[in-house]
Amino acid sequence: MSSRPLTRYLDRTTPPHLSTLVLLAGIAALSLNIFLPSLPSMALAFGVDYGVMQLSLSLYLAATAALQIVIGPISDRLGRRSVAIWAMAIFTLATLGVLLAPNFALFLTFRLMQAVVATGFVLSRAAVRDMVPQDQAASMIGYVTMGMSLVPMVGPVIGGILDAAFGWQAAFVILALSGAGMVWLLWADMGETTTQRSASFAEQFRQYPALLTSQRFWGYCLAAAFASGAFFAYLGGAPYVGTTFYGMDSATLGLYFGAPALGYMAGNFVSGRYSVRVGINRMVLWGALISTGGMAVLMLIELLGSAGPLGFFGLMVAVGLGNGLVMPNSTAGMLSVRPALAGSAAGLGGAFTIAGGAALSALAGFVLGPDTGPMPLILLMLATSAAAIFCILWVLRREARLSRG
């Protein structure tokens, strides 16, 4: 297995180009956050409360988690290429349904169908693990997610500007066009990367206990879930904090909202550059420490009453930086527990991560109220970031014990 797989752009007889994997994961990220600055105006348009409209995020995340459990095994059995193409086609049609929905119930139905785009998260990582071994996978995933991090950086900014200029529908027009373009790109460029397909789905599920009973898998999986949980709590609560406590309009909120992506891009760059040299476990530990430290500083500043929008959103860069270190390295660890089940491991790991994110996103909306200020959200993010530290310490302790014999 070469650390430098041969790829030719727009040649579907070779593995996909790195940029194709970036875009595949990027559209999945874009679908998650481009419309977030529009949540208040969407609630008004459909005549529902903000908490009800937030279901378009929390239930979407829950559907994403459920889908990732089956996307991985399906791609292990049928291959990455065909699953990716069909998923993007369904996503494009569902986005058109969102645009044409006459009421909130139908809007939410088609919004949940859009969750099939989570295929991009699973298959971009699984394809990397098909192509290169563990340490190179952490590095390559880091570069993939570094490029992908540009999407959450600019997505809310674009979404806020489009909302102010054309209304909330404009963001979903962008998603529909992006989905259609991605279908063509996958067809033209994504060669099949799986070489060892499972004989049947039953055979795959019989091997799940090998993953679910592995302490190493759970250590990486929970570290990723808790670290990203802070970010998902931010997604669920920051729009409310920005509009209610800081009085931001949708365009301004979109500009500030992308702050964590700056840190995420930097963290992914560091992962891509140094994961092979430093090792995935130490990279995960440093990432969790950085996220926790940033939230601890924000808590202290908020207690002093001097955070404000610059302090609140500025220190979210630490969460992004921490996630940029944790996610590619913990993902590479998960996928290496059973390399033949890379798609299944990516799906299971992604499902646990997104399910936890859905719960924390909903919880963020629940703990915030007109008189609470941002502190409940800060404490929630601090707690989940700290939990990631204990998870990776569990992995390090286990490996130290095994090395002593």
Angle between helix axes 259-278 and 134-148 (nearest 10 degrees) is 160
Q: What is the pLDDT of residue 174?
A: 93
Q: What is the mean pLDDT of residues 49-68?
A: 80
Higher pLDDT, 265 or 378: 378
Residue 196 belongs to some domain of the structure: no
The range of the structural domain enclosing residue 28 comes to 18-189+204-403
Q: Residue 232 — very low, low, confident or very high, per pLDDT cuts 50/70/90?
A: confident
Note the pLDDT of residue 182. 94
Residue 198 lies in a domain: no
pLDDT at residue 206 tops 60? yes
User: 13 in a domain, yes or no?
Assistant: no
Summary mean pLDDT of the chain: 83
Residue 176: its pLDDT value, please? 95
- 55: pLDDT confidence band, cut at 50, 70 and 90? confident
In a domain, 3, yes or no: no
Please give the pLDDT value at position 146: 64
Q: Residue 338 domain-assigned?
A: yes
Measuring CA to CA, how many Å separate 341 from each of 68, 136, 381? Answer: 14, 18, 32
- Chain centroid to CA 47: 29
The domain that contains 45 carries what CATH number?
1.20.1250.20
* Assessment of whether the complete model's pTM goes beyond 0.85: no
What is the per-residue pLDDT for 294?
96
pLDDT band at 384 (very low <50, low <70, confident <90, very high): very high
> In this predicted structure, what is the pLDDT of residue 179?
94
Q: What is the pLDDT at residue 57?
A: 78
Whether the pLDDT of residue 1 is over 70: the answer is no
The structural domain count of the chain equals 1
The average pLDDT across 100-110 equals: 93
What pLDDT is stored for residue 339 in this prediction? 67
Residue 293 pLDDT greater than 70, yes or no: yes
Greatest mean pLDDT among 62-76, 193-207, 299-313, 337-351 lies in 299-313
Instruction: Answer whether residue 195 is part of any domain.
Output: no
Q: Which two tokens stand for residue 257?
A: 């909202």
Instruction: Pick the range with the lowest mean pLDDT from 137-141, 181-185, 246-250.
Output: 137-141
pLDDT value of residue 2: 43
Least confident of 207-211, 274-278, 298-302: 207-211
Q: How many CB atoms lie within 10 A of CB 257?
A: 28
CA distance 315 to 404: 40
Residue 246 has pLDDT above 80, yes or no: yes
Least confident stretch, 56-65, 149-158, 242-251, 280-289 = 149-158
In a domain, residue 253? The reply is yes
Please write down the HEC assignment for all residues of the chain: CCCCCCCCCCCCCCCCCHHHHHHHHHHHHHHHHCCHHHHHHHHHHHCCCHHHHCHHHHHHHHHHHHHHHHHHHHHHHHCHHHHHHHHHHHHHHHHHHHHHCCCHHHHHHHHHHHHHHHHHHHHHHHHHHHHCCHHHHHHHHHHHHHHHCHHHHHHHHHHHHHHHHHCCHHHHHHHHHHHHHHHHHHHHHCCCCCCCCCCCHHHHHHCHHHHHCCHHHHHHHHHHHHHHHHHHHHHHHHHHHHHHHCCCCHHHHHHHHCHHHHHHHHHHHHHHHHHHHHCHHHHHHHHHHHHHHHHHHHHHHHHCCCCHHHHHHHHHHHHHHHHHHHHHHHHHHHHCCCHHHHHHHHHHHHHHHHHHHHHHHHHHHHHCCCCCCCHHHHHHHHHHHHHHHHHHHHHHHHHHHHHCC
- pLDDT at 149 > cutoff 70: no
Mean pLDDT value across residues 16-40: 84
Is 38 a residue whose pLDDT tops 70?
yes
Nearest to 268 by CA among 224, 314, 327, 223: 327
Closest CA to 159 of 176, 172, 145: 172
162 within domain boundaries: yes
* Higher-confidence position of 380 and 401: 380
Q: Which residue would you say has higher pLDDT here, 153 or 284?
A: 284
Which of the residue ranges 22-36, 40-54, 176-190, 232-246 has the most confident prediction, judged by mean pLDDT? 176-190
Q: Which residues contact 151 (CB under 8 A, 6 or more apart)?
A: 26, 27, 29, 30, 33, 261
Which of 16-30, 65-79, 88-102, 298-312 tops mean pLDDT?
88-102
Query: What would the two tokens of residue 156 be?
Result: 């809310």
Which tens digit of pLDDT belongs to each residue from 298-346? Answer: 999 999 987 889 999 999 999 999 998 998 888 888 877 776 666 677 7
